[in-house]
A and B are shown apart, each in its own frame.
Chain A
Amino acid sequence: MKIHEILLIDDDSVTNFVQKKVIESEFENFSIEVFQNGLTAIDYIHKNPKKSYLIFLDINMPVMNGWEFLEAITNDKYFYNLKVFILTSSLDLSDMRMAEKHQLGSSFLVKPLKREVLKEIKLNYGVKNAI
C-alpha cells in the first residue's frame, strides 16, 4: 500500500507529540499531518482527495469525535484512499466492538503507540511511501 501522508487526529497535544515521534521513528520520510478533531481532518482530506492516507484516529475528541469522523468519511470511502487505525486510550469493550463493526476501522490500537505495532502495520499492509 502506497501512502502519501499519515494523518494523526487527536485533541491532546502531548499525545500527538509523543505519537508523532514514534511514527516518525518508524515511518521515515513520511509526511505526517496532525489534526485536533475529526472535522479539520475531513476538510483536509476533501481538499486533498487524490492522496492516500494512513490515519491514526482518536475517539474522544471535541467538535467531531472519532466515531463521527468515521461516519462522515464512510459515505465517501470510494472517493478516497484511506487506511484508518483507531488509536485510543479506552479499554472499553463496547468501543472495541464498535470499531470492529465499522467499515473503515481496520484495527483498534491502544495508546501509547509503540514502534513494534507500527512495524507490524508496515509488514501486514505493505505500507510504502508514495512520494
Chain B
Amino acid sequence: MADSNLHDSNIYQTAFELAPFPMWIYDLETLRFLKVNNEAIMQYGYSQEEFFNMTITEVRSTLDTPDSENGVNDSILSSEPYEEREVRHRKRDGSYISARIKSNLIEYGKKTAKLVIAINLNECDYRGEQIDSQKPYLSAIDEINQLLLKTDDVFKSLHDCFNTIGNIVEVDCIFQFKNNLEDKSTSHKLEWHKGSLDFENYDLDLQDIPFSNLTNVMQRLQNKDHFEGAVDSLNSPWIQEFLENRDIKYILLIPIWVREEFYGFIGFGNSHNTKEVCAADFQFLKTMASHLGHVLKRSEMYQDLIYSEAQFKSLIENGKDLIAILDSNGTFKYVSPSSNTILGSDPEVYVGKSFFDFIYEVDVPLMETYLSEILEKKSISIQPYRFPDAEGNWRWIRTELTNHLNTPLIEGIVANTVDVTAEVEKKMVDNLVTAMTLAIGKPGLLTKCLNKGLNHLLQISRICVSEIWLVSPDENRLNLISKSSCNETIEKFYHNSSSLDSLSPGEGLPGYTWTEKKVTVWTDISNDRKFLRYAAADASNIHTAIGLPLLYNEEYLGCIICFSHLREGELNDQINILAAVSKQIGAIVKQKITEVEYRNFFNISPDPHVIVGFDGYIKKCNKAFIELLEYDDDKIKNRSISQFIHSDDQRTFLYKLKKMVDAVDDSKSIETRFITKNGQIKILKWSGTSISESKVFVAAAQDVTEQRSVEENLKKAYERLRTAQKIAKIGYWVKEFNCDESVWSEETYSIYERSPETFTPTMESIAKAFHPDDRYLITSNPSENLEPGKLRSFEHRILTKSGKVKWVRQEIRMLTTNLGEPIQLEGTIQDITERKKYEDQLTISNEKFRLAMQASNEIIWEIDHGKQKVVRGKSRKQPFRYGKTETFSKENSWFSKMHAEDRDKTWESINRAFRNKRKKSWQGEYRILSSDGSEVFFVDRCYILRDKLGNPIRSVGSSLDVTDSRQQLQRIKKQNKNLREIAWLQSHVIRSPLSKIMGLTYLSRELNGGGKSNDEIMEMISEAANELDVVIREITNKTNTIQDEDSRNFIN
C-alpha cells in the first residue's frame, strides 16, 4: 500500500515537473510560491529560488491590479475547488504574457494551497494566426500533390505545379538546375515564366557549368543553405547574365537534396520586387523544392527505366549475346531472336532439339561434363567450343550457364552465349605466329629454323603438308627451302615431284602467289594442270593447296604452301587462320633471311665486325676481329670492349658510343686505337648502327693502322716539305695549259710578296711581276721553249709589290697527254736573291783572295785527312817545284825537299798536332832546299778542323817563304850588334877618359891638385883627352861600316 502510494506520488511528481504548461503551487495564506515546475521557470524566466522568494501578486501585472486583487481575494475566499480565468503575468524580463490560469485547491504539506496551471494565450494566438496563414500554402500543397499523383504527363504536371507555386508566392520566374556530382557541374533543365503555357527550352549554353563558376552560391547550397539576394550582388557573371536576360532583379535559390544527394537547385526570381521573401513563402518554397526534387528524381528514374527496358529489348533482339534456356538434358526450351544475327538461324531451328546435336563432335564430351556440372552449381563458364552457323561454318562460342531450374517462370538452365570466333581465331593465330616466330627466329641454319616453323603449321588439324619457298638473292627464281609433313604423305608427294624445287614467277602455285601477292586456294589440284605437281598430288590424295604469300613491307619474300586431303569447303576456318598467320610472319622470315645473310657476311668478312651491347660488353665478334686482336675467342666475348682499347681513347670511344646509342651523335664513324695481345696498336675506324630493341650496337671496322701511319708520314713529309720550302724559300706552282690562272703554293706568294686575298696569278699579273728586262721569258709560248717532261731552269728577276728586285730561280716542266698535247705546266720557284748577293760577294772575295795570294809569298794548302790528300796553291815566287795535289806523306814532293835536319822533327811535330784531339792549330819552321841548292826558309801554320770525336777532318794552312825576311833579320842582328858595340863604347870606353879628365879638373879645382902640380895635372888631362880621341875614331869607323852594309843591303 505504501509502495503503491509512493509510486503514485512519483508519477504525479513527474507529471507536475514535465507538464507542457507552467504549473505552480502557492500558499493560500501567505501567497508564496511553494512549488514550480520547469515549464514555469522556462516561460517566466524566474529561477526556482526567485519563485520561492516571491508571492503570486508579484507575478501578476500591475495593470491588472483591480482584477488582481479580486483574483487573489477571490481565490482565498472562493470555496470552489476549481477556478479558471484570464490574467496577465509579468515575466522576469519585464514583458507580459496573457495566460489562462486554471487552479485547484489542494492540501500541500499541512498547508492549504492552490495548484495553478497557466496556459500562455500569446502562443495560442500566434499559432492560431500561423495556422490561418498556412491555409493557402496547405491548399497549394494539396493541389500540387493531386497534380503529381494523378498525372501521366510528368512535365505537364510540373509546369502546372510551377504555375501554382508562382502564383502563391508571386514570383515571375522559376528555374531548375540539375547537378552532375561526378563532374561537379550543373545544367539548366526547367524554366517557368509567369503566364507561360509550357516550360521554356533548356539553355544549351548553360549546360555543365562548373560549380567553381558559382563558388559563393554553390557553397551555400552545398551546405543545404539557401541563397537570397539582388541579382547584381551575385558574384558570378554567367548567372547574372542569365537572370538579367530574364529581367530578374531578385533571386532566391534553394538547394534540392534527394536522399542526401545534392540533386540540384531551384531558383525563384522576381523582376519587380527586390525585397526578401517572407518566412512563410520561404518555408513553402523550401518544402516545395524538396518535394519537387523527389518528383524530378523519380521521374528521371522512371525515364531511365523505360530507357533500360528499351535497351534491354534492343539488346535481346539485336545484341551479340545469344540467350537460350535449356532443360536439364540439354534440350533447347527457348532461344532468343538474336540467333538470327549471331548464327543466321531462326530460334525455331533449335527449340525442341538437343544442344549436343549441333556441337562439334570433338567438343561433345567436354560439353556433357559441363552440363552435369551446372546441375550441381549455380553458374559456370564454358570455354569456347564449336557450334555451326546456318552456312555450316564452325563458329567458336563461349557460354555462361546459370542454373535457374528452380526459378519460377524460368525453370531451366540459362545459357548466355557470345560468338568468340574472332577472338579464338585471333588467339590461335597469335599462338601460331608466336610459335613460328620463336622457331624461325632461333639461332641456326635457315632451312632448319624454317622447318621447325612449318611444323607448327601442321598442328592445325586438317593440313597434312606445308612447305616454304623463298625468292632467290637475284630475285629471278623461287626456290623450295623447306618442307614438313604430319605423316608419310610427304614422302610420296615429294618423291613424285623432287625435280620441281625452283620456279619462275607465275609458275605453279608458288609462282602464282609471287605474281598475285594474295592468298590463293586451289582445289582439286590433282586434276588441275596449273598445279605443276598435280601427279604427285593425285598419288598422295592431296586435294587442296593453299598458297600464302610472305610479304614484308610490300616486298615479296616467298610463300608458304599448305596441302590438305580435304576440300576447300571444309577448310574455310583453317584458311582464315593460315592467311592471318602468313600476314604476320613475313617480318620474322625477312629477319631470318637477313640474319643468315648478315651472319655469313659477318663471319666471312675480312674486316672486323663486332656486336657490342649498350653496356659496352662484346656480345659477338667475327674471326677477323679475333685475329686482329690476337686473343682467343673466349677471351674476347662477354668482355668489356674498353679493355681492348688504348687507355687514351677509352673515354672518347665510350662517350661516342653512348651518343650513338642515344641517337644524338649522327657522325658516321669512330676511330679508336686498340691494343692487341702483343701490345701492338691497331687503329680501327668503326661504322655502325644501334638496334635499340636488342640494346646492341652493330659495328664494322676498317683497320686503318697502316693508312694512318702512311698519312702521318705523309703529313710529316708534307710539313717537312713545307718547312723545307720555307727554309729553302722554294715555292710551287701549277697551271693548266689552257687556263690563264695559275695555282700557287703559300711560299710562292711569299716569294712574290703578294697575298692570295689580293693577288690573282694570271699570266698578265705574273708578267707584270717580272722585271721588265726578264719579261720576255714569260711572254713567249712555253711549248716552244719547253720539252715535254724535261725540267728547264731559269734565273731571272722579279719585282715585289714594293718595287724591290729579287732574284729567283724557276724550274719548269711541261706535262703532256700520251699524244703529246700539253696539258699542264708546273714548276718551282726559289728566292735566290741572298745567294746571288753571296755569290757576288764570294766572287769579289775570291778575286781579292786571288790577288792577295798573288801578292803574297804564302802557299795555301789543305789536307783532306779522310783521303790523306794535300792540295797546295800556287806561289808567287815558286822557289822549287812541288805537287799541287798529292798524298800527305813524308815522301811527297814537299817533305822530301825539306832540309834533313828539319824533316823528321817537322813531320813528327805536325802529326803530333793532328793526333792531339784538343789541338786546333799547328805551327812550324823549316828549311827547304831549292833547286839551286839554297835554303828556303818556311814558316808553316795551319788550323785543324775536327769531327765530334776529335779526329781531324780537314786542315787548312799556309806556308810562308820567310827566306828574305830571315836574311833581313840576320842583317838586322848584325847591325844591332854593331850598334850595341857602339853604345858600349859610348858608355864605357868614351866615358873612361872623360871621367878621368873630369876627376883631374875636380882635383885641381877642389883639392888643390891633390899634391900634384898643374903641369902634372895637365899632362894627365892631355893623356886622357888623347885616349878619348882614339875611342871617338873607333866609333866613327864602326858607324861608317854599318852605313856601307846598309847601302849594300838596300841595293840587293
| Residue of B with least CB distance to A87 | B995
Q: Is there a chain B Cβ closer than 8 Å to A14's Cβ?
A: yes
Q: Is there a chain A Cβ closer than 8 Å to B996's Cβ?
A: yes
Partner of A15, one of B983, B984, B995, B1012: B995
Q: Is the CB of B1002 within 8 A of A22?
A: yes
A13 to chain B, nearest CB (A): 9
- Complex contacts, A21 vs chain B, CB 8 Å: 1003, 1007, 1010-1011
Given contacts A91-B987, A110-B995, A111-B995, 15 further A-B contacts (CB under 8 A): A12-B992, A14-B1023, A18-B1003, A18-B1010, A21-B1010, A22-B999, A22-B1007, A25-B1007, A60-B988, A60-B992, A89-B988, A89-B991, A92-B983, A111-B998, A112-B998
Partner of A112, one of B1002, B1012, B1020: B1002
Task: Work out how many contacts link A and B, with CB atoms closer than 8 A.
Answer: 65
> With contacts A21-B1007, A92-B984 known, is A112 near B991, CB below 8 A?
no
Q: Is there a chain A Cβ closer than 8 Å to B488's Cβ?
A: no
> With contacts A14-B1024, A17-B1010, A111-B998 known, is A22 near B1003, CB below 8 A?
yes
> With contacts A25-B1007, A92-B984, A115-B1006 known, is A18 near B1000, CB below 8 A?
yes
Query: What is the bound-complex CA distance between A90 and B994, given in angstroms?
Result: 11
Partner of A90, one of B988, B1000, B1023: B988
B971-999 to A contact mask, C-beta < 8 Å, 1/0 = 00000000000011001100110111011
- Complex contacts, A113 vs chain B, CB 8 Å: 999
Q: Is the CB of B1000 within 8 A of A14?
A: yes
Q: Is the CB of B987 within 8 A of A111?
A: no
Near A by CB (< 8 A), chain B positions 744-775 give: none
- Complex contacts, B999 vs chain A, CB 8 Å: 14-15, 18-19, 22, 111-113
The 9 A-B pairs at the shortest CB distance, nearest first, are namely: A112-B999, A21-B1010, A111-B995, A18-B999, A89-B991, A89-B995, A92-B987, A89-B992, A112-B998
Near B by CB (< 8 A), chain A positions 1-43 give: 12, 14-15, 17-19, 21-22, 25
Query: What is the bound-complex CA distance between A48 and B1010, given in angstroms?
Result: 29
Near A by CB (< 8 A), chain B positions 705-745 give: none
Near B by CB (< 8 A), chain A positions 105-131 give: 110-115
| Residue of B with least CB distance to A91 | B987
- Complex contacts, A15 vs chain B, CB 8 Å: 995-996, 999
Q: Is the CB of A89 within 8 A of B1002?
A: no
| Residue of A with least CB distance to B987 | A92
Query: What is the bound-complex CA distance between A108 and B1024, given in angstroms?
Result: 23
CB within 8 Å of B: which residues of A?
Answer: 12, 14-15, 17-19, 21-22, 25, 60, 89-92, 95, 110-115
B1024 to chain A, nearest CB (A): 7
B327 to chain A, nearest CB (A): 171
Return 15 A-B CB contacts under 8 Å, by A number.
A14-B996, A14-B1020, A17-B1010, A21-B1007, A21-B1011, A22-B1002, A22-B1006, A25-B1006, A90-B987, A91-B991, A92-B987, A111-B996, A111-B998, A111-B999, A114-B1006
B546 to chain A, nearest CB (A): 146
B492 to chain A, nearest CB (A): 149
Query: What is the bound-complex CA distance between A52 and B996, given in angstroms?
Result: 28
- Complex contacts, B1020 vs chain A, CB 8 Å: 14
A118 to chain B, nearest CB (A): 12
- Complex contacts, B1023 vs chain A, CB 8 Å: 14
| Residue of B with least CB distance to A110 | B995
A18 to chain B, nearest CB (A): 4
A108 to chain B, nearest CB (A): 13
- Complex contacts, A18 vs chain B, CB 8 Å: 996, 999-1000, 1002-1003, 1010
> With contacts A18-B1003, A21-B1003, A21-B1007 known, is A112 near B995, CB below 8 A?
yes
Q: Is the CB of A89 within 8 A of B994?
A: yes
- Complex contacts, B984 vs chain A, CB 8 Å: 92
- Complex contacts, A111 vs chain B, CB 8 Å: 991-992, 995-996, 998-999
Most chain B CB within a 10 A radius of its CB, from A12, A19, A110, A115: A12
- Complex contacts, B996 vs chain A, CB 8 Å: 12, 14-15, 18, 111-112
- Complex contacts, B991 vs chain A, CB 8 Å: 89-91, 111
A59 to chain B, nearest CB (A): 8
- Complex contacts, A12 vs chain B, CB 8 Å: 992, 996
Near A by CB (< 8 A), chain B positions 944-992 give: 983-984, 987-988, 991-992
B227 to chain A, nearest CB (A): 149
- Complex contacts, A22 vs chain B, CB 8 Å: 999, 1002-1003, 1006-1007, 1010
B1002-1039 to A contact mask, C-beta < 8 Å, 1/0 = 11001100111000000010011000000000000000
